[in-house]
Amino acid sequence: MPLYFAYGANMDAAAMALRCPASRLVGQGRLHRHRFIVMREGYASVVRDPARTVWGVLWDLALADIPALDRYEGVAGGLYAKASQPIATEGGVKRALIYLGRSTAPGVPRPGYLEAVLRAGEAAQLPAAYRKEMRAWLRGPG
């Protein structure tokens, strides 16, 4: 089963249990040399930034759950593209599937979306300073 790095709505364990019931939460991960953004469509993405790190969670993704995740992420419609990236974990660096927003233009989060992402980040015990950085998007493009 492939590893999947979630940095937005899919950090939420309850939501993932509905979307991807055969997948299992592994723990925290970090995507170095990237930063968190909200793209113009109102959803989370990441962009390259050599001085920053994106925190999130790793899932052991069941192959049977990938089509549902692709649909949720709007892959066929061009909202997100799939890639493989090195993710730092307690056990070392591992390659993981990640969904990257096709848009890199900054935007405003959809109503309630970022609040849910922040709750998931808190539940995942992401660092407070990182959650504060994410929370700044509630005021608009960072």
In this predicted structure, the answer to whether residue 142 has a pLDDT above a threshold of 70 is no
Query: Which of 41, 73, 115, 133 is the catalytic position?
Result: 73
Burial class for 87, CB neighbours closer than 10 Å (0-12, 13-18, 19+):
buried
* 72 annotated among ligand-binding-site residues: no
Q: First CA to last CA across the chain, in angstroms?
A: 35
Q: What is the pLDDT of residues 31-82, one digit of tens each?
A: 999 999 999 999 999 999 999 999 999 999 999 999 999 999 999 999 999 9
CA distance 98 to 73: 11
Place of tokens 């590893």: 3
Domains of the chain: 3-127 (3.10.490.10)
- Residue closest to 20 by CA, chosen among 58, 67, 53, 54: 67
The pTM assigned to this predicted structure is: 0.95
Q: Assess whether 90 carries a catalytic annotation.
A: no
